[in-house]
Amino acid sequence: MTDTTDNLHVMNRAALTKRLVGKLANREAVIGGIGNSNWDLWGADKARGENFYMLGSMGLAAPIAFGVAIAQPARRVFALEGDGSLLMQLGCLSTIAAQKPKNLAIILWDNGIYQITGGQGTPAASARTDMVAIARASGIASAAWAADEAEFDALVAKALTTDGPHLIGVKIDNEPGRNQTDRDPIRFRESFSRAMAQPV
Amino acid sequence: MTSAAEAPPTTWHAILRQALKDNDVRLVTYVPDNVLRPLIDGCHADPFFTTFPCAREEEAVGIVTGASMAGMRGIVMMQTSGFATLPNALASLPVAFQVPVLMVVSERGTMGEFNPGQAIVCRTMRPILDSMGIEHHTMTRLDEAAFMADRTIRQAFATRWPACLIISPLLSGARK
């Protein structure tokens, strides 16, 4: 898989979220991070009970997904997280690497900006920080950039069939989220928990 | 079973650990703390629990929230200054979504504290908990510990709301 960020095709978060959700056939849990990660997950399939839409706890999509993965080792769990969000909570990569959850995959949408607050650049983008390299250096061996849509598909297939933890980095464009979720945390928690009570 | 095995626990940390087991709280996340060491060590040593450290308290709240929604009850253990990093995570996650995340905080910054920073941050803890309507009880006496721990944990799950047990130096002995 791709090791450097030099030749990465810039992709679209909404399209890839749809692509990911379309490949989930075994009631996999998907935790959407704050803002656009959430909204595009909602847009991909709002009827899907196994989706969880976080509200304001920026940076906690991966920890929430990790908790689901601990509680249900037989279920595959995905976190969809933005680069600015992950930057707030880089320590969780070491926590996850230390516990080695086999059933966890983190998808990192990296556009280098805080899109929802006005598109300001992240310090990581200015510094050319390689977030996938950070994940690998944190101990997540299966961490790779997806160079294009075909490689994204291959990495998702790997996350669905091999032991994790996995991290898939994706360079995305600046298109805002196409939809907005309802703001109904109790309903989200109830429908997610109900879906998690269903066998895999 | 011998009568020794059936004897009730007699230290604050064994009492707390028993209350967690009695209420099927299996996931123990923590950010290290000296006062909590016997409690954390006891959880590590007991295969009933899945126990591990986190880099940050917010992370632990996220992990326990996720596990709880997927059917596994959990707790976050930390010290006072660590709790002070949590208001946004608590308000927007377990409080907003009504997920019973349990917390144990060892109280530092009172009764002989030598570090002014700890003393000030300690004063923020109860107002933060009160502002979110998070039930908290301060454990000061060994003879009340089992009742307080069990009932607080039970109510958190019954009412689907986070709860916090504060371990006072009066109970733990804390730092000399």
Q: Would you say residue A111 has pLDDT above 70?
A: yes
Domain residues of chain A, as ranges?
13-196
* Nearest alpha-carbon partner for A106 in A54, A65, A150: A65
- With CB atoms and an 8 Å threshold, state whether A57 touches B88: yes
The model's confidence at residue A5, banded by pLDDT at 50, 70 and 90, is: confident
- pLDDT, mean over chain A: 95
Helix A91-99 to helix A61-71 angle (10° resolution) is 20
- With CB atoms and an 8 Å threshold, state whether B70 touches A193: yes
- pLDDT, mean over chain B: 95
Asked if A16 has any chain B CB less than 8 Å from its own CB, the reply is no
- With CB atoms and an 8 Å threshold, state whether A60 touches B89: yes
Number of helices followed by number of strands (H, E) in chain A: 9, 8
Which residues lie closer than 8 Å to B151 by C-beta, 6 or more apart? none
Average confidence (pLDDT) over A124-136: 97
User: What percentage of residues in chain A have a pLDDT greater than 90?
Assistant: 88
3.40.640.10, 3.30.70.3460, 3.40.50.970, 3.90.1570.10: which CATH number matches A13-196? Answer: 3.40.50.970
Token pair for residue A90?
Answer: 């880089």
Number of folded domains that form chain B: 1
3-state SS of chain B is: CCHHHHCCCCCHHHHHHHHHHHCCEEEEEECCCCCCHHHHHHHHHCCCCEEEECCCHHHHHHHHHHHHHCCCEEEEEEEHHHHCCCHHHHHHHHHCCCCCCEEEEECCCCCCCCCHHHHHHHHHHHHHHHHCCCEEEEECCHHHHHHHHHHHHHHHHHHCCCEEEEECHHHHCCCC
Average confidence (pLDDT) over B32-39: 96
Q: Kindly report the nearest CA distance between residue B24 and chain A, in angstroms.
A: 13
CA distances from B54 to A93, A101, A166, B57, B101 (A): 10, 14, 19, 7, 15
Tell me, what's the pLDDT at A33?
Answer: 96
Q: What is the pLDDT of residues B6-23, one digit of tens each?
A: 688 999 999 999 999 999
Task: Tell me the chain B residues in contact with residue A99 when contact means C-beta distances shorter than 8 Å.
Answer: 52
| Unique residue bearing structure tokens 């992950």 | A86
Asked if B87 has any chain A CB less than 8 Å from its own CB, the reply is no
Q: Would you say residue B175 has pLDDT above 90?
A: no
Q: Is the ipTM of this complex over 0.90?
A: yes
Asked if B113 has any chain A CB less than 8 Å from its own CB, the reply is no
Q: What is the pLDDT of residues B67-112, one digit of tens each?
A: 999 999 999 999 999 999 999 999 999 999 999 999 999 999 999 8
Question: For residue B133, what are the domain limits?
Answer: 3-172
Asked if B72 has any chain A CB less than 8 Å from its own CB, the reply is yes
* Nearest alpha-carbon partner for A80 in A62, A104, A103, A98: A62
pTM (global) more than 0.80? yes
Tell me, what's the pLDDT at A177?
Answer: 82
Q: Kindly report the nearest CA distance between residue B51 and chain A, in angstroms.
A: 10
**Are A65 and A159 within 8 A, CB to CB?**
no
Q: Would you say residue B3 has pLDDT above 60?
A: no
The model's confidence at residue A4, banded by pLDDT at 50, 70 and 90, is: low
Average confidence (pLDDT) over A185-200: 97
Q: Would you say residue A1 has pLDDT above 70?
A: no
Q: Point out the residue among B59, B70, B97 whose CB comes nearest to the CB of A91.
A: B59
Asked if A193 has any chain B CB less than 8 Å from its own CB, the reply is yes
- CATH at residue B71: 3.40.50.970
Task: Tell me the chain A residues in contact with residue B91 when contact means C-beta distances shorter than 8 Å.
Answer: 56
User: What percentage of residues in chain A have a pLDDT greater than 70?
Assistant: 98
Task: Tell me the chain A residues in contact with residue B74 when contact means C-beta distances shorter than 8 Å.
Answer: 67
Task: Tell me the chain A residues in contact with residue B94 when contact means C-beta distances shorter than 8 Å.
Answer: none
Q: Where do runs of H (alpha helix) occur along A111-148? A: 123-126, 131-137
The model's confidence at residue B5, banded by pLDDT at 50, 70 and 90, is: low
**Are B51 and B40 within 8 A, CB to CB?**
yes
Q: Would you say residue B1 has pLDDT above 60?
A: no
